[in-house]
């Protein structure tokens, strides 16, 4: 693997910030843009896989906030080694034993680790005291000798949930910080989530397990995820029984199956605790590895670069998955929106059919119209003496006071048609949304019924349309003396005649209704033709139809917006798959260019490595042996990864040589 300098960072004057004359790494800008866009991604619709999509979005944002951006902006910060793993594996005991002090609570109650504990060298506190890393956690400093457990060994609270406890230790090698994390398989959901967050913020995972827990599924799911994004991992088999070497061999097999064949397997044997600490010989394998890592700036830089590169690649992959998630949201929103349009378009068709097939000329409308036109003698006379038609119309209308009753009956009938269509559209839309997982949770609060106040809205719409009709009649009669005379005596009568003609088609009637409606329409048409002429009547009828359709359409559009406004407010899939895909491409291109220009070695420039030495370092017998795969040579205290030389390993000029403490035994809870 080619490793090198992470951009032009310059000397650091405070945690995470470069000198005024230095430039940020070139990856920061695209990653910040990606982070802000991913954080705005809206995933409100219940599409299949929604939980995974939400977790992926939150994971990308957390990875950028907790690890990638802080690491890029502070290349000289210490390497963050997170110690975590299975419940009861002895993580806290191991950490205490390495530091020679009971800084972390170890006990039999679970969950022991309530708040993560970060151990750093005194001079490195500046890197962790602010929110540069794990900014969602508040900080609390604690003295190294402040007892975290009571006399009985039962864990006492060492920090509140949401806190990061900071402890300084001179024993810690320079360039390293150790973070004690909650159990990955904790009974506490909050602790499991916190453990995942802490591991995502790590430069190096130190995963601790035991013979009784190493095959559990939950930790291996996390480890497989780490392998997929090329996070640097070392596995510690704690409390190993030297008489049962098959455990280390089987653990090595699982490591290979989960993509961790290049990771080191460190074996800490079972041993009795002394004052709550493991003997130095027991922790020597881990102490040697960490101390050697702290003493080698180039190797620390390589570890950070490898994890960082893997995290960048993982963010790119997951961002493209987020783009697909945004597309699924948008497709679902389009599907729901289409259901609204289909239902309300059908309602328009129903209104159009009901106002053209003659069915409006039934019941009350027909009765009031017959009262208005009388026996029909006037119209028979009108047919015999067309030349005097307008005078006859004037005489007819002058004595007919019942036009308002016809107009009112038409209004009631038309309102019933509009209300029925709107109710049917709401019901059909609700049925479609309830059948779609994306819309199921959105239907509620009467959304699948017509809106309150619709009846008043429809009544107003009908009156406005009737006003349109009267306006058409009045406009048509302007400037024509005979017509004006007729209108002066019966504007409403001519108007209702036009309304009847609008509803005149008999396509929806049968039997005797056809003859009645036909006669009704003929009577109305004769009035209009006598007043305006055939061509004008055809034009007036067409325009009146169009205005009725427009008025009804406005009502249905407002009803449809009750549904589409819900979708608009949710903004499903925004800011859109295109924006996410473009940012993923930009990050990938910048990352590849940065790696191509990176020097052959030294991804970090952490300066001198003078510092502490962990308890147990050098306490074991040193052995030099060729590298073997995880699980091979189970009697060794260190079983390194076979194919790609693990970065968590000492390198010698003559080749890779494993340096390990002798096989003692280890024990303890944590």
Per-residue model confidence as pLDDT tens digits over 157-208: 444 567 889 999 998 998 999 999 888 888 888 888 888 888 888 899 999 9
Task: Report yes or no: 496 and 410 within 8 Å, Cβ to Cβ.
Answer: yes
pLDDT of residue 6: 26
Burial of 490 (0-12, 13-18, 19+ CB in 10 A): buried
Q: In whole angstroms, what is the distance from residue 407 CA to residue 497 CA? A: 10
Task: Give the tokens for residue 8.
Answer: 């032009």
Backbone angles phi, psi at 240, to 5 degrees: -75, 140
pLDDT of residue 17: 46
pLDDT of residue 622: 38
Task: Report yes or no: 232 and 204 within 8 Å, Cβ to Cβ.
Answer: yes
Q: In whole angstroms, what is the distance from residue 120 CA to residue 176 CA? A: 7
Q: In whole angstroms, what is the distance from residue 256 CA to residue 151 CA? A: 42
Q: In whole angstroms, what is the distance from residue 550 CA to residue 544 CA? A: 10
Q: In whole angstroms, what is the distance from residue 360 CA to residue 501 CA? A: 11
Other beta carbons less than 10 A from residue 635's beta carbon = 11
pLDDT of residue 153: 38
pLDDT of residue 484: 57
Q: In whole angstroms, what is the distance from residue 184 CA to residue 653 CA? A: 38
pLDDT of residue 486: 53
Q: In whole angstroms, what is the distance from residue 193 CA to residue 184 CA? A: 8
Whole-Å CA distances, 110 to 114, 185, 253, 430: 9, 11, 29, 48
Q: How many CA atoms lie within 13 A of 390 on its CB side?
A: 13
Task: Report yes or no: 664 and 236 within 8 Å, Cβ to Cβ.
Answer: no
**Domain residue extents for the chain:** 1-76+300-333+575-608, 79-296+624-670, 355-570
Task: Give the tokens for residue 541.
Answer: 């009828």
Query: Which of 375, 289, 265, 110 has its CA nearest to residue 648?
Result: 289
Verdict on whether the full-model pTM lies above 0.85:
no
Q: How many CA atoms lie within 13 A of 262 on its CB side?
A: 17
Whole-Å CA distances, 16 to 10, 101, 350, 603: 11, 30, 66, 16
Q: Is 652 helix (H, G, I), strand (E, B) or coil?
A: strand
Torsion of CA 137, 140, 141, 143, to 10 degrees: -120
Q: Which CATH number fits domain 79-296+624-670: 3.90.320, 3.90.550, 3.40.50, 1.10.3470?
A: 3.40.50
Query: Which of 89, 151, 94, 136 has its CA nearest to residue 119?
Result: 94
Q: Is 205 helix (H, G, I), strand (E, B) or coil?
A: strand
Ranges in the chain, pLDDT < 50: 1-22, 108-113, 147, 149-159, 375-390, 392-394, 396-401, 489, 507-511, 513-514, 602-608, 621-629, 631-636, 638-670
pLDDT of residue 658: 34
Q: In whole angstroms, what is the distance from residue 453 CA to residue 455 CA? A: 5
């Amino acid at each position: 693997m080619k490793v090198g300098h992470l951009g032009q960072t310059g000397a650091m004057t405070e945690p995470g910030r470069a000198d005024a004359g230095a430039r940020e790494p070139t990856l920061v800008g695209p990653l910040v843009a990606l982070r802000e866009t991913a954080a705005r991604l809206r995933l409100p619709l219940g599409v299949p896989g929604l939980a995974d999509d939400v977790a992926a979005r939150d994971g990308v944002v957390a990875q950028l906030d907790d690890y990638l951006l802080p690491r890029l902006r502070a290349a000289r910060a210490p390497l963050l080694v997170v110690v975590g793993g299975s419940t009861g594996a002895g993580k806290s005991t191991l950490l205490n034993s390495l530091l020679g002090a009971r800084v972390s609570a170890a006990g039999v109650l679970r969950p022991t680790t309530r708040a993560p504990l970060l151990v750093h060298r005194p001079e490195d506190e500046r890197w962790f005291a602010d929110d540069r890393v794990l900014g969602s956690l508040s900080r609390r400093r604690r003295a190294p000798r402040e007892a975290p457990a009571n006399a009985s060994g039962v864990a006492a609270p060492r920090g509140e949930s949401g806190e990061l406890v900071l402890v300084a230790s001179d024993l810690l090698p320079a360039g390293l910080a150790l973070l004690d994390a909650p159990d990955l398989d904790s009974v506490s959901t909050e602790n499991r989530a916190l453990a995942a967050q802490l591991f995502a913020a790590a430069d190096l995972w130190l995963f601790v397990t035991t013979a009784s827990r190493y095959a559990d599924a939950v930790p291996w799911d996390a480890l497989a995820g780490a392998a997929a994004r090329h996070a640097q991992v070392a596995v510690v088999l704690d409390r190993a029984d030297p008489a049962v070497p098959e455990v280390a061999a089987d653990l090595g097999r699982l490591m290979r199956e989960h993509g961790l064949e290049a990771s080191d397997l460190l074996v800490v044997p079972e041993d009795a605790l002394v004052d709550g600490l493991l003997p130095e010989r027991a922790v020597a394998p881990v102490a040697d590895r960490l101390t050697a890592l702290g003493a080698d700036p180039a190797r620390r830089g390589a570890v950070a670069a490898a994890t960082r590169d893997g995290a960048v690649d993982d963010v790119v992959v997951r961002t493209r998955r987020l783009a697909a998630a945004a597309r699924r949201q948008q497709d679902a929103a389009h599907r729901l929106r289409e259901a609204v349009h289909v239902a309300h378009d059908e309602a328009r068709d129903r209104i159009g059919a009901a106002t053209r097939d003659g069915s409006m000329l039934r019941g009350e409308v027909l009765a009031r119209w017959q009262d208005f036109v009388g026996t029909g003698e006037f119209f028979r006379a009108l047919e015999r003496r067309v030349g005097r038609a307008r005078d006859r119309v004037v005489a007819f209308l002058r004595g007919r006071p019942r036009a308002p009753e016809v107009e009112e009956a038409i209004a009631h009938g038309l309102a019933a048609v509009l209300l029925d269509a709107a109710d049917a559209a709401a019901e059909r839309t609700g049925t479609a949304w309830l059948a779609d997982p994306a819309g199921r949770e959105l239907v509620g609060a009467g959304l699948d019924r017509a809106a309150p106040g619709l009846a008043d809205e429809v009544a107003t719409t009908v009156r406005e349309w009737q006003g349109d009709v009267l306006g058409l009649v009045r406009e048509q009669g302007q400037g024509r003396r005979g017509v004006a005379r007729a209108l002066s005596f019966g504007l409403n009568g001519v108007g209702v005649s036009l309304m009847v003609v609008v509803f005149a088609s008999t396509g929806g009637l049968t039997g005797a209704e056809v003859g009645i409606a036909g006669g009704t329409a003929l009577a109305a048409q004769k009035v209009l033709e006598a007043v305006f002429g055939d061509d004008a009547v055809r034009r007036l009828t067409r325009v009146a139809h169009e205005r009725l359709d427009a008025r009804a359409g406005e009502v249905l559009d407002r009803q449809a917006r009750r549904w589409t406004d819900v979708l608009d407010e949710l903004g499903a899939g925004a800011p859109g798959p295109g924006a996410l895909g473009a940012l993923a491409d930009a990050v990938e291109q910048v990352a590849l260019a940065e790696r191509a220009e990176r020097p052959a070695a030294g991804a970090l420039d952490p300066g001198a490595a003078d510092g502490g030495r962990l308890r147990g370092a050098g306490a074991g017998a040193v052995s030099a042996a060729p590298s073997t795969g995880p699980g091979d040579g189970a009697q060794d205290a260190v079983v390194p990864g076979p194919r790609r030389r693990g970065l968590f390993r000492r390198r010698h000029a003559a080749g890779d040589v494993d340096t390990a403490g002798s096989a003692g035994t280890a024990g303890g809870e944590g």
